[in-house]
A and B are shown apart, each in its own frame.
Chain A
Amino acid sequence: MSVQTQQDQIARRIRALRDEKNVTQAALAWELGFNDRQTLAAIEAGERRITPEELVRVADALQVDVDAFLDPFLLIGEGAFSFRAREVEEATLSAFEAQARRWIATYRELGHQSGSEPRRLGQKLELYPWSSFEDAEAAAALLWRAWELGEVPADRLEEAIETQLGALVLYVDAAEGISGAASQLPGLNTILVNRRETQGRRSFDLAHELFHLLTWDAMPPKRVEPLEVKPTKGNRVEQMAESFAAALLMPAPVVAARWEARGGEDLPLWVSRAAARLRVSVPALQWRLVNLGLISKAQVQAMGAAPRPVTPGAKPGLPLLFSRRFVERVSNAVEAGRLSLRRAAGLLGLSLAELADLCAAHGHPLSYDVPG
């Protein structure tokens, strides 16, 4: 971090925290004992270097810790979140958001330190609140082709989001009821997926949150969106997101080709196998087949309680925490001495041993001896 970068960060955060607490520049200047507003204005413009004494006085006046201005591993006054959650108390969501902010800020700051530029050129879908569900499906079909997601889009989606969109995908341990989240930050969009969800749910979360990232400006999602999207008037955007996700993970040509190849195979068995291969849930595929006119609602209802076979071809196990790119960035910073081992563990919410194990599991072992 350069002196100017630090001053700019301090300036931004004084403005943000002052706004958050509804304190005018004149009032804060007076409280700090400045003779006029201009001194504070110059600090807030990043034109005058703040002294340690002034910084402590600003922190006292705004009733925050000095770290609120100094710590680049925090997101203050920036970043919007939308969570997919069911029956989760606000305190739980807030705690998760605070931790998510730490992860995202860590990735961004370590990127700055290593010279990685934030992604300034974004992509968006030409979809609006008045667009139809068919429009959302058509947009998904276009994206499927443009990103070359292939026969099993869920297998390639994470990589495509990272490379095509420059977004960060993190698999995390979230409190029960929090399935996923999307976060928009200038230059760095993030999708968080609760890695303890089923494989089908994880795939859908990824596609659903991708929709929000690609339509955020036109259709900003609510802070909390429901897990199960009911076809009601008030949640049209969420229904569009579900249509988009279904069409992206189960493209019409892919489903049609599999349907053609089904032959005489028993329908419930075929649906279970195809869903496992596509890494989506059985109900998701059933309703996609209905939407594509390949089966009827009555057939879905008839299949409802049918036993599911073991699903060969499914990717087994729990995804590793975070992502390879994220852990690589952390590991590189620790090895370069830009981030201490204990600090890295604290930022990620892990013990030292857990951090060492995670880095090794992602193929970036640390050179420290950490007792296991």
Chain B
Amino acid sequence: MLLDGVARKDTVVLVDTNVVMEAVRTRCWNAVSGGLCVETVEECRDEALRGDRGRPGYLPVSEQDLARIRRVHPVTPLERATFALAYLNASGMDPGERDLFAHAYARAARGDSVWIVCSADKACVNAAVALGWHERMRSLGALAAAVGANSDPPLGRQFGEPWLSEVRTRYLLGA
């Protein structure tokens, strides 16, 4: 169970660009996207597809990888504006991260509460804490563990649950 009182299959997992790229790199993407209800926004999908192609040894994210995402949401200018006026540090997030949070904000505004966010950036954890969503943050490591997937090569540090827990606690304490 990823969210209290909600069946795993009914919990929408909103993933950002870094998570998609890391899951593909560490070969746990098929298990995570197959075992969970993974969704994202158009900007994150496009960023993942563009990737970091200049990097030696980079494993590109393919169209086939992205086709495994259950839904890719468009984000309207009104959703962006609403989020940016509500969360004043929204500009510190990259366009994909910002759109993902704007989408989540719109979901929350219309009373949808069966979603969690998977991100591996301090600015996103900071935003989640500020918005009262800290219980909704999950690490890629936790998602992989939930579906029994192995990561090979291992996940980067910021994709693990200990990193998320430490950073989240720090922001909750106001540090």
Measured CB to CB, the residues of A under 8 A from B are 1-3, 6, 50-53, 55-56, 59, 65-67, 70-73, 333-343, 346, 351-353, 368-372
Contact = CB atoms under 8 A, between A and B. Distances in A.
A370 B21 CA distance: 12
Contact of A56 (B47, B78, B97, B167): B78
Interface string B65-79: 000000000000110
A303 B83 CA distance: 67
A1 B80 CA distance: 17
15 contacts: A1-B91, A66-B77, A66-B81, A70-B85, A70-B91, A71-B91, A72-B91, A334-B123, A337-B121, A337-B123, A338-B89, A352-B52, A353-B52, A369-B157, A372-B56
B77 A335 contact: no
B92 A338 contact: yes
B88 interface: yes
A53 B125 CA distance: 27
Contacts of A72: 91
Interface residues of B, number: 38
Secondary structure call for the B interface = helix
Contacts, number: 100
A342 B94 contact: yes
Given A342-B96, A369-B158, A351 B55 contact: yes
A341 B125 CA distance: 12
Given A52-B82, A53-B78, A353-B52, A70 B90 contact: yes
Nearest to B88: A1
Contacts of A71: 91
Nearest to B56: A372
Contacts of A2: 88
Contacts of B156: 368-371
B78 A337 contact: no
Given A52-B81, A70-B90, A337-B126, A342 B121 contact: yes
